[in-house]
Chain A
């Protein structure tokens, strides 16, 4: 009952990244390492935006390597462009239920509940431009909640927020992950964020994504590439 990357090899021009590890279901994993090391690329390939050179991705024992992005058991949030700017918050959330947005009455109610859950109960009619950065992140998380996919990939979606807001969002993520029993992979360049997750960390450096290791132990005794990165 896990996410397995099996003999995984990603190549893009000169860039190479290998991975061969297992992430237990329900784990909260921070993905950490120097920039340009391939953290985002790793998530993009797991999410299905492009294919690995070789190897397989398995979820709960099923091979998902060849599935299109939307058929995979996961939700992903990018650094930006997580919302469609011309759609309202409620419509953006509703896309998590039906990609053609033809929602039933029950589904509309579910959208309203999801917005309530992230603390945006009365802002559903606003467009992203009329929301603050933190509120936009909440809309995206409400959609994650509604989609109900078991694996959540976060590619630094809160990077543009200030420290206090970012901590608030991480709290919300932890709550949602715990409530829905999600498995989480979160890219971050800040070891404090990864520590705050209180789980494991995956080090991506020097062409390898290491197997997840307990965050505290990893940060207490970092291997050379991580030591160089942390300074």
Chain B
């Protein structure tokens, strides 16, 4: 009786929950229904499963192992451009996979700058296709993520502990043993698991850098069963395998406390007194420089290679860009409505003392973490196929799938802010009778501008660069920009591909910037 029910949140939350249930569980049910027996799980499928696990484990271990020294160097040094570098570490998250792959090819590919350099000293060019190429791309994406996760760990160590270490005369070795090692033992398992989970569902990287019997992920095998054999039963069976894999991993991730990597406040250096040696300073400088070079060179190559091609881009690329913008904006609107609705419902349930309902709703919003894009795509295809031409629905379905995929991130950004707004202003709003729509307009939305803008930017950029569901649904003429880019690469039109990649990169970053910026403008107090 004490707290006003919020009918608005309840309705929007119910609608969002219903949509999620239909999309996620509906597609899973479809997949389970069409999946053919385990008898058809042949040697190629075992190979795909093995490869998926191998590359995900390797990628996770390498990313985290490299991130430890880099994060430590970043945590204990201050230098000009440090804040910018740490911000850039967040960029791969919104970087379209296919664009990054093109950048990596320009550096590590057969005719990339590394091979050219090796040629000068009479060495063979490097080969990027296969397991090591896939792992390289995954490390490119996840080294920054791991670095940010670990940096968070360093910053979470109370400053007093380093002061105490200084007072006791600790050297770097002692600091590592008594402060840093215990912290790493807490943070590293979570970071490993998150990256492992991300790499399990990797599709675009495997599609471009893997392939062939020895470098096919389960996700890619789904696509091949679809596209080359049009064998829905086999695709569904593989999708079921993929879902089981991800669900198990996601459950483990859910149980291990995973630090958040997207928060701000990472540009504060840790005050240290044990770092007097010059050798140590040089080591840190080399580490930071190498990491920056590894991350920035491919991005620079996209810009350098793309600029000449940008002017003469064929009309089909611009059309594809237009389609992608529509999809991205549609997905963004959907994400915001669903995240707000679910968020309001979760906080409303918490306020009413229904902790279990709140936890259930929150878990529902996170369920997409366990469902990979191609699993959902396969399920939706099976659902739609009997009634309509999937190609005709390619764009709306892509927007819907992208929205479901971005929802966990949006919900993660929104829920803490929503809880804080209710905790700080809920009683005042209750005492003045501000309820329903007025509460949303006057109390909650103004307090949510930051996370809303950030979530919208994230969703828009992710959707803009997504090369997933669309490959299952698109016919010949309804390509999005990432798909068009992939087709250009397949046709070896590298000039156009480079131009399209720069366009896609620019659009993704611009979308993120515009939305995120919108959340910052006019934010007083």
Residues of A within 8 A of B (CB): 47-51, 66, 68-71, 75-76, 78, 81-82, 84-87, 95-96, 99-101, 127-129, 147
Contacts and interface: CB of A to CB of B under 8 A. Distances in A.
Interface in B426-468: 427-435, 437-438, 441-443, 446-447
Prevailing SS type, chain B contact patch: helix
B434 A100 contact: yes
A75 B442 contact: no
B431 A95 contact: no
Given A50-B2, A100-B437, A128-B525, A84 B430 contact: no
Given A84-B425, A86-B446, A68 B2 contact: yes
23 contacts: A48-B2, A49-B430, A50-B2, A51-B1, A66-B1, A68-B433, A69-B427, A70-B432, A70-B433, A71-B433, A76-B431, A78-B427, A78-B428, A81-B428, A84-B428, A85-B524, A86-B446, A87-B442, A99-B433, A100-B434, A100-B438, A100-B442, A101-B438
B427 A68 contact: no
A75 B430 CA distance: 11
On chain B, which size bracket covers the interface? 20 to 34
Interface in B109-125: none
B4 interface: yes
A101 B432 contact: no
Contact of B442 (A71, A76, A101): A101
Given A66-B1, A68-B2, A85 B434 contact: no
Prevailing SS type, chain A contact patch: loop
Contacts of A82: 428
Pairs of residues from A and B, 5 with the lowest C-beta to C-beta distance, nearest first: A70-B433, A100-B438, A85-B525, A86-B446, A99-B434
A211 B9 CA distance: 42
Given A48-B430, A69-B4, 9 more contacts: A70-B4, A81-B427, A95-B442, A99-B442, A100-B434, A100-B438, A101-B442, A128-B525, A147-B432
Interface in B192-234: none
Given A70-B432, A127-B524, A84 B443 contact: yes
A68 B434 CA distance: 12
B477 interface: no
Given A81-B425, A85-B525, A86-B525, A47 B442 contact: no
Given A49-B427, A49-B430, A70-B433, A86 B447 contact: yes
